[in-house]
Every structure is written in structure tokens, then in C-alpha cells.
């Protein structure tokens, strides 16, 4: 039956059943063999597939990881590629060098070790959940996403085409990754490439940074923000105005720089005669420089300065006793001598009555015989009496009685405000003597009042040469009409060089004459020289000054030693208070202080000048400007607190080119500070003078007698004050 079935199945009809059966059996065997071999093949295939799959899983996770790392590093790699090598050069070896299978395994092992275990487990875990198909899909999508992202970036930046091509190649390669033959060597090469490229990107980073720095430092078109560290900070140096920085220098040495009065250009014979009559045959340096400068402003007429413009104001800073008074008295007297009508044309303002009196005296000497009237208003007389000397009332109105007015600021302001008919509308010269001290009195507002009085408009002046307008900007319109200019002349032994202070005086294009040679300091930044800005002072050439280290008790004994042992005559001794000036009241001395009336002071000074008094004890009342002839020695019994005070005190000796001595008694604690003050002020070094205690002992008895007298005087004074 079975054979029948087999025959039917084979469809053969064999005659011989035995042969047929054999043939059938053979066929069946063959079929069974084929089936078995097929099954074997299938099993083997399944095994191989599962093995390669597990390997693939690992490889793919590495590949994904590497790819994600590569993706992170890609921009850097691309930058490097742009500068160093083309991507094709990098890829070619990976495509060409396909290793054998043995090599493939060798290459796989070390790569597996390198993989971070955690990441491996993690990625495997994810794949186990998603299954192999999903995993493959995921891998492809990741790669394609990365290539897309690169592509999209590349689309934005067309210059980065080469990296794009490389990414495309990479995606092709990953597409072929199902084929083990091509995938493995590529992975190997990519892996090493990642390592290499990470090192290369680090190098590239450093290169790019340094290149960027170079570019920013060399390329002037780029401003590097935040690069402050290398910039040198420029110092701001104080800069003086040109007129202060480059003054006209006046010689300090009087003796060797005398100029004959005949050699001064523009000086009238009348004035020369007057000078010679007063034993002035030569001019001191400051006079030889300043007199021609003042005369020059009137050389082409009385109304305006040289060339028809407003004349420059003049500032003079010269040592004490250098003859500044004559430097303004002579030209003013010469210019005003030609006046027709008596009006106040010169106003000289001084800080104290004594100084005003002294200057008035000099004006009177040179104005004598010219018809010029010199009037002093400084509080010596009553206000009403001063008014009578200033103006007089006539039928047609008020008339001035003064051509030259010498005054103190307080009294001047009083007359401007209260004296009827008093006018300054014709004022041509405003002289400010002891100018640095006068700047200190600016708070009294005397200068603005003088200026507004000088430019006060009067209806009767309209259309005349005396019509005045407050000077404005120098334009053709402003200078269209000729008018009387007002010129300021400033004099001082200690004139400030501080532009801020000088600005208060409202100077017009000033010229400075000074004998202070400021040391130029070199500026290390640009190698140029700049004028020193600190105040410097100059002392008379003939002055020798010393300091005496002492204690409080020895001070009066030292003074006695000077007067009695060394026999100094006409010693001017300065103390800081009236009380100190009493200390020597018992000996052949006199005091000169604000306690005395103006009459008493005048008498005392006269006696001192005549040599009737050996010692004059003074407060700073006489320190400024007072010209006492024949003072041989100045003693600072109390050290002055300011350098300006020192300069004016010691300047009472060595005047007019003569010689003189100055001593300053210093307590031990004052010594260093004082010497520093002198050095900073540029004053020549003080010499130390020691007085032996043996030479002082003989005066102790005498001094005690004086002290007992002093007690009585002080008691009397206090009693007087109470009354
Ligand atoms: N050309 C001269 N020939 C001789 N003596 C002169 C001459 N000029 C001035 N003197 C005298 O020199 C002395 C000092 O002059 P003056 O008082 O003008 O000095 P100063 O510079 O104003 O001093 P200070 O700053 O202390 O006021 C005076 O006694 C004066 O008479």
C-alpha cells in the first residue's frame, strides 16, 4: 500500500517493483539528507545572527556614544579642519585600510575596554527594553539626526562645506554598518579619530585663542573689550597758564644789575632830574624791567594802549626791598603829569595804614612840582576831613581834588558809597600793592565796587572820550570807540602763582615779572619739562639767615646776649603776641604794636630810624612792606607759622641791595618742621647758630629784674582793660 502510494506520489509506473523500490529509497534518502543539511544550515545561521547581534549591540552603543561625543566636538573639529587639513584626507585612510577578520577582533577588544562600563550597561538596558529592531531604528535615527543637525548648521554657514561632506560620508558608513565587513574598520578608525581629534581640538583651541589675541592687538579696527590690564594710565599734570609758566625773569642780584636812569627808554628828563635829586642814579633790576613796560602802554596816547588796544595788566613778584614802590611811582607820575583836568586817574590800594602812608610819601616826593595832587585816605583823619580832601563843590558841580589816591580798601569803599561827587570814572591805573595779602581781603568785595565805580555811566559823558563801557570780548565793535582803559598793576614779594586765586582779580592778558626761578621738573612720561607748581619764594640777595636751637627760658637771655655782648644796633625783634613784646619793656627798647595809636607808632618808627632805640619789639604789624632804613638785624623771637610771614619779617633788613642778618629762635620740637617748611618753599638753607650757656649765665640776674617789672606792666594793662 505504501509502495502504491509512493508510486502514485512519484508518478512513475515501473514494471519491476524491486527496482522501483530501490530507486524510491535512494530518492527518499537524498531528500532526507538535503533536509538535514538545510536544517543544519539554518541552525548555524541562527547562531551566527544571534552572535553578531550581541556584538552589534555593544558596537552600536559605542558607536552612538562616540557619535554623540563626536557631535559635541564637531564644531571644534570643523574649525580645526578648516585651518589644518581637509576632511577627505582624514577619511580616506579609514575607507581604504580595511583590516582582516583577525585584525578586526583585535581592534574590537581594546575598544570595548575603553568604553565606560556604566554607559555600556545603560545603553544595553535601553536596547533590551526596546528590542533589536527598535534599537537599529533608533541608531539610524540618531545618526541621521546628527547628520541633519550638521547639515542644517552647514546650510547656515556655507564656508563649512567640507565638514558636511565628511558627515555625509559618515552617515553612509553608518548606513552600511549592517554589513560587518565595512562597519568594523570604519568604527576603529573613527574611534581613534575621535581621540586624536579631541587632542587636536585642544591644540586648536589654544591656537585660536592666541590667534585671536594677536588679531585684536595688531588689528586697530577691533576694540578688545575688557582688556584693561595692559593700558598705561596717563597722569594728569597741573598746567599753568602761559603767562605764569613763562614769565619775564627779573634779576635777584641788585648790586651787579644796576641800570642807569638814562638808559631807560621813554623816561622824561623831568623825572630823571627828580630821581637824581633823590639820589637815585641807577635803577634796580625790577625797576629797569617794569617801568618801560608800564610806559609802553601809554606810548601812543593816554586813551588806549599800544596799537589802539586795551593794555596788558602787569604782575610783579620781586624780593622784599628790591624797589617795587619806585617801579610804579615813576611811570604813573610821568604819564599823569600831562593831564589837563584833575580827576582820580591812579588808585593805589594797600593793606595797612602804615604802608599807605609810606607809599603816599614816595608819590609826594616825585609829584612835587608837577601840579599832580596826591591824597591819602587810610583812616588817619576823620571821614569828613578825608571827604574834604577828595572833592569840592563848585558852581558847575563837583570837582576832584586828587589825581593820585593812596588808600586802604575799607576806607575806599566807604568813600565810593558815601562821598558825594567822588568818582572813579577817569581811573587809568589801579595799583594793588602787597597783592597776595589783598587777595585775602577780597571777601570784603572792595574790587568789584571799584570796578563798577570806574565803569559807572553818567549822562553827561555820553558821546565824549570819557564814556566808558565795561570791557567785553575784544571785537571790532567793542573797540570801535576810543575809551580810557583801566590797567591793573600788581606788586608783591610773595605773589601767589596760584591761577585760581589770581583769577579773582580779573586780570586782562597779564604779563608777569618775577625773580622766582622755579626749578623745572622733568616729566618721566614724555621726557618734557614742566614748571614746578609748588609756591617758591625768594629772599634778598644780601641776607644771611640762621636759626638758634633753644628752650623757652633761654630766649630772653639770648636776646640780651645779642644786644649787650655782640652790641647789635637797630635790632627789629618779632614776637607773635603783644604780651611777648612786653618782656623787654624794662630795657632800652620800644614796642611797636596795634596797642599804640597811629601817632605813637609814627614817633616810635622815627626814633628807631634815628638810632635812638636799640631794639624795636614788634608784632607782625610792621612785618609787611615797612621800609625802616638801617635795620641791621631781624630776630624772630617767636618763630613765624607761615613761610610768607617769615619772608616779610626778615625782609625788613638787607633792603635795597644792602646786607643784613636774620636769626630765628627755635624750640627743639619746632626745629624739624621748620626746616622742612623752608626747604619746601625753596628758601636757601638756614645755618645753625649755637649760643653757649656760659655766655648767657651773666644775664640771669638782670633778666629776673626785668621779669618783676613785666609783672607790674601786665597788671596795669589788665586794670586799664577793665576800666
Ligand atoms: N633805584 C634805587 N636806588 C637807590 N635806592 C633805591 C632805589 N629804589 C629803591 N630804593 C630804596 O630801596 C628801599 C626799598 O625799596 P622799596 O620799599 O620800594 O622795596 P619794596 O620792593 O617795595 O619792598 P617790600 O616788598 O618790602 O615792600 C627803599 O628804601 C628805597 O628808597
Q: CA 469, CA 425: separation in Å to the nearest integer? A: 10
Pocket probe mutation, ligand 1, options 257, 260, 323, 650, max atoms within 8 Å of Cβ: 323
With a cut of 50, say whether residue 10 has pLDDT above it. no
Residue whose CA is closest, atom 14 of ligand 1? 321
Q: Ligand 1 center to residue 657 CA distance, Å?
A: 9
Q: Which residue has the higher pLDDT, 373 or 706?
A: 373
> Higher pLDDT residue, 18 or 573?
573
Q: What is the mean pLDDT of residues 686-709?
A: 74
Q: Whole-angstrom Cα distance, residue 637 to residue 583? A: 11
Q: How far, in Å, is the centroid of ligand 1 from the Cα of 717?
A: 37
Predicted confidence at residue 467, as pLDDT, reads: 67
H-only helix segments in 84-96 = 87-96
Q: What is the pLDDT of residue 515?
A: 85
> How many Cα atoms are found within 13 Å in the side-chain-facing hemisphere of 666?
22
Residue 475: exposure state from Cβ atoms within 10 A (0-12, 13-18, ≥19)? exposed
Residue with cell 625768594: 538
Q: Which atom of ligand 1 is nearest to the CA of 275?
A: 1
Q: Report whether pLDDT(129) > 50.
A: no
Question: Where is average pLDDT lowest: 421-430, 626-635, 708-717?
Answer: 708-717
Q: What is the pLDDT of residue 41?
A: 76
- pLDDT by residue (tens digit) across 308-358? 667 889 999 999 999 999 999 999 999 999 888 889 999 999 998 889 999
**Which is the closest atom of ligand 1 to the Cα of 493?**
25
How confident is the model at residue 77, as a pLDDT?
Answer: 42
CA within 13 Å, CB half, 363: 27
Highest mean pLDDT among 106-115, 444-453, 495-504: 444-453
In this prediction, residues 470-486 reach a mean pLDDT of: 72
Render pLDDT for 188-202 as a digit per residue (tens, 0 to 9): 444 444 444 455 556
Q: What is the Cα gyration radius of the chain? A: 55
Question: How many angstroms does the Cα of residue 285 sit away from the middle of ligand 1?
Answer: 11
Per-residue pLDDT at 33 exceeds 50: yes
For residue 320, the CA-to-ligand 1 centroid distance in Å is: 8
Strands (E), 279-427: 282-283, 314-317, 346-349, 374-377, 391-394, 397-400, 404-407
Residues 536-554: pLDDT tens digits?
788 898 999 999 999 888 8
In this structure, the number of other CB atoms found within 10 A of the CB of residue 170 comes to 21
- Confidence class of residue 589 from pLDDT cuts 50, 70 and 90? confident
Between 477 and 258, residue with greater pLDDT: 258
By 3-state DSSP, what share of the chain in percent is helix, strand and coil, each rounded to 5? 55, 10, 35
Name every protein residue with a CB atom under 6 angstroms from any ligand 1 atom: 280, 282-284, 287, 320-326, 493, 625, 627, 629, 651, 655-656
The Cα–Cα gap between 695 and 34 comes to 150
Query: Averaged over 110-128, what is the pLDDT?
Result: 43
Query: Which of 30-34, 199-203, 428-432 shows the lowest per-residue confidence on average (mean pLDDT)?
Result: 199-203
Which atom, in ligand 1's list, is nearest to the CA of 327? Answer: 18
Helix (H), strand (E), coil (C) string for 636-699:
ECCCCCCHHHHHHHHCCCCHHHCCEEEEEEEEHHHHHHHHHHHHHCCCCCCEECCCCHHHHHCC
Out of 257, 271, 318, 326, give the residue to mutate to test ligand 1, the one with the largest number of ligand atoms within 8 Å of its CB.
Answer: 326
Q: Give the C-alpha separation, 288 to 249, whole Å.
A: 12
pLDDT, averaged across the chain: 72
Read off φ and ψ for residue 572, nearest 5 degrees.
Answer: -100, 115
With vertex at residue 372, the alpha carbon angle to CA 626 and CA 386, rounded to the nearest 5 degrees, is 65
286 C-alpha to center of ligand 1: Å? 10
Residue 696 has phi, psi (to 5 degrees) of: -95, -25
Q: Residue 57: name the closest of 148, 143, 120 by CA.
A: 120
Contact at 8 Å (CB) between 571 and 615?
A: yes
Predicted confidence band of residue 49 (pLDDT cuts 50, 70, 90):
low
The reported pTM is: 0.65
pLDDT at residue 533 greater than cutoff 70: no
The span from the CA of 46 to the CA of 520, in Å, is 103
Q: Which of 138-147, 210-219, 568-577, 640-649 has the lowest mean pLDDT?
A: 138-147
pLDDT at 456 over 50: yes
Angle made by CA atoms 342, 347, 351, in degrees to the nearest 5: 150
Q: What is the pLDDT of residue 159?
A: 43
Lowest mean pLDDT among 143-152, 283-292, 454-463, 563-572: 143-152
Nearest residue by C-alpha to atom 22 in ligand 1: 324
pLDDT at 163 over 60: no
For position 455, what pLDDT does the model report? Answer: 87
| Minimal-distance CA residue to ligand 1 atom 25 | 320
Q: Give the closest residue (by CA) to ligand 1 atom 13.
A: 656
Mean pLDDT of the 486-513 span:
88
- At 300, the pLDDT band (50, 70, 90 cuts) reads low
> Which residues make Cβ contacts (< 8 Å) with residue 486, sequence separation at least 6?
427, 428, 429, 430, 451, 454, 455
pLDDT: which is higher, 52 or 316: 316
Q: Is the pLDDT of residue 365 over 60?
A: yes
- Residue 131: its pLDDT value, please? 40
* pLDDT tens digits for range 58-78: 444 444 445 444 444 444 444
Q: Which atom of ligand 1 is nearest to the CA of 648?
A: 26
Amino acid at each position: 500500500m505504501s509502495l502504491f502510494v509512493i508510486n502514485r506520489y512519484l508518478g512513475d509506473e515501473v514494471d519491476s517493483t524491486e527496482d522501483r523500490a530501490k530507486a524510491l529509497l535512494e530518492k527518499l534518502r537524498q531528500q532526507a539528507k538535503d533536509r538535514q543539511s538545510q536544517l543544519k544550515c539554518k541552525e548555524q545561521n541562527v547562531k551566527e545572527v544571534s552572535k553578531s547581534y550581541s556584538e552589534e549591540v555593544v558596537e552600536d552603543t559605542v558607536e552612538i556614544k562616540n557619535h554623540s561625543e563626536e557631535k559635541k566636538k564637531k564644531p571644534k573639529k570643523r574649525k580645526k579642519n578648516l585651518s589644518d587639513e581637509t576632511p577627505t584626507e582624514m577619511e580616506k585612510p579609514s575607507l581604504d585600510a580595511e583590516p582582516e577578520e583577525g585584525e578586526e577582533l583585535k581592534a574590537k577588544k581594546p575598544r570595548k575596554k575603553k568604553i565606560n562600563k556604566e554607559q555600556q550597561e545603560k545603553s544595553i538596558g535601553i536596547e533590551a527594553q526596546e528590542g533589536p529592531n527598535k534599537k537599529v531604528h533608533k541608531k539610524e535615527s540618531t545618526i541621521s539626526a546628527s547628520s541633519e543637525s550638521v547639515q542644517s548648521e552647514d546650510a547656515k554657514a556655507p564656508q563649512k562645506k567640507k565638514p558636511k561632506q565628511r558627515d555625509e560620508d559618515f552617515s553612509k558608513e553608518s548606513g552600511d554598518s549592517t554589513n560587518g565587513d565595512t562597519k568594523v574598520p570604519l568604527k576603529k578608525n573613527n574611534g581613534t579619530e575621535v581621540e586624536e581629534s579631541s587632542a587636536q581640538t585642544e591644540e586648536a583651541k589654544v591656537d585660536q585663542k592666541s590667534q585671536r589675541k594677536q588679531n585684536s592687538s595688531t588689528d586697530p579696527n577691533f576694540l578688545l573689550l575688557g582688556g584693561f590690564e595692559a593700558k598705561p594710565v596717563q597722569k594728569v599734570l597741573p598746567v599753568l597758564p602761559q603767562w605764569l609758566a613763562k614769565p619775564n625773569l627779573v634779576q635777584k642780584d641788585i648790586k651787579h644789575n644796576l641800570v642807569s636812569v638814562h638808559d631807560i627808554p621813554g623816561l622824561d628828563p623831568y623825572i630823571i632830574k627828580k630821581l637824581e635829586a633823590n639820589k637815585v642814579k641807577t635803577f634796580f633790576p625790577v625797576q629797569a624791567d617794569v617801568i618801560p613796560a608800564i610806559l609802553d602802554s601809554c606810548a601812543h596816547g593816554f586813551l588806549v594802549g599800544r596799537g589802539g588796544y586795551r593794555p596788558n595788566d602787569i604782575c610783579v613778584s620781586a624780593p622784599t626791598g628790591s624797589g617795587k614802590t619806585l617801579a610804579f611811582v615813576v611811570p604813573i607820575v610821568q604819564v599823569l603829569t600831562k593831564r589837563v583836568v584833575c580827576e582820580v586817574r591812579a588808585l593805589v590800594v594797600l593793606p595797612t595804614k602804615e604802608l599807605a602812608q609810606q607809599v603816599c610819601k614816595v608819590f609826594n616826593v616825585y609829584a612835587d612840582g608837577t601840579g599832580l595832587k596826591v591824597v591819602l585816605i587810610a583812616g588817619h583823619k576823620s571821614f569828613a576831613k578825608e571827604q574834604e580832601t577828595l572833592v569840592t563843590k563848585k558852581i558847575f558841580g563837583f570837582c576832584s581834588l586828587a589825581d593820585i589816591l593812596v588808600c586802604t580798601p575799607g576806607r575806599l569803599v566807604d568813600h565810593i558809597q558815601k562821598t558825594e561827587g567822588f568818582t572813579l570814572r577817569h581811573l587809568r591805573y589801579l595799583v594793588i600793592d602787597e597783592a597776595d595779602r589783598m587777595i585775602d581781603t577780597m571777601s570784603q568785595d572792595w574790587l568789584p565796587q571799584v570796578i563798577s565805580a570806574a565803569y559807572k555811566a553818567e549822562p553827561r559823558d555820553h558821546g565824549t572820550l570819557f564814556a566808558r563801557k565795561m570791557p567785553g570780548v575784544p571785537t571790532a565793535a567793542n573797540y570801535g570807540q576810543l575809551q580810557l582803559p583801566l590797567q591793573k598793576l600788581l606788586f608783591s614779594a610773595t605773589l601767589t602763582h596760584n591761577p585760581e586765586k589770581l583769577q579773582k582779580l580779573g586780570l586782562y592778558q597779564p604779563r608777569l615779572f618775577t625773580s622766582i626761578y622755579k626749578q623745572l621738573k622733568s616729566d618721566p612720561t614724555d621726557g618734557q619739562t614742566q614748571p614746578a607748581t609748588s609756591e617758591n619764594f625768594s629772599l634778598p640777595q644780601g641776607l644771611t639767615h640762621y636759626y638758634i636751637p633753644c628752650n623757652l627760658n633761654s630766649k630772653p637771655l639770648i636776646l640780651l646776649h645779642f644786644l649787650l655782648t655782640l652790641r647789635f644796633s637797630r635790632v627789629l625783634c618779632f614776637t607773635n603776641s603783644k604780651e611777648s613784646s612786653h618782656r623787654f619793656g624794662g630795657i632800652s627798647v620800644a614796642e611797636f604794636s596795634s596797642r599804640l595809636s597811629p601817632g605813637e607808632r609814627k614817633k616810635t618808627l622815627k626814633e628807631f630810624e634815628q638810632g635812638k632805640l636799640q631794639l624795636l619789639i614788634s608784632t607782625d604789624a610792621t612785618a609787611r612792606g615797612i621800609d625802616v632804613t638801617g635795620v641791621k638785624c631781624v630776630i624772630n623771637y617767636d618763630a613765624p607759622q607761615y613761610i610768607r610771614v617769615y619772608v616779610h619779617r626778615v625782609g625788613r633788613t638787607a633792603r635795597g641791595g644792602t646786607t643784613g642778618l636774620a636769626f630765628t629762635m627755635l624750640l627743639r620740637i619746632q626745629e624739624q618742621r621748620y626746616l622742612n617748611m623752608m626747604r619746601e618753599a625753596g628758601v636757601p638753607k638756614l645755618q645753625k647758630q649755637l649760643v653757649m650757656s656760659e655766655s648767657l649765665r651773666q644775664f640771669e640776674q638782670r633778666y629776673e629784674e626785668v621779669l618783676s617789672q613785666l609783672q607790674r606792666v601786665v597788671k596795669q594793662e589788665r586794670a586799664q582793660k577793665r576800666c
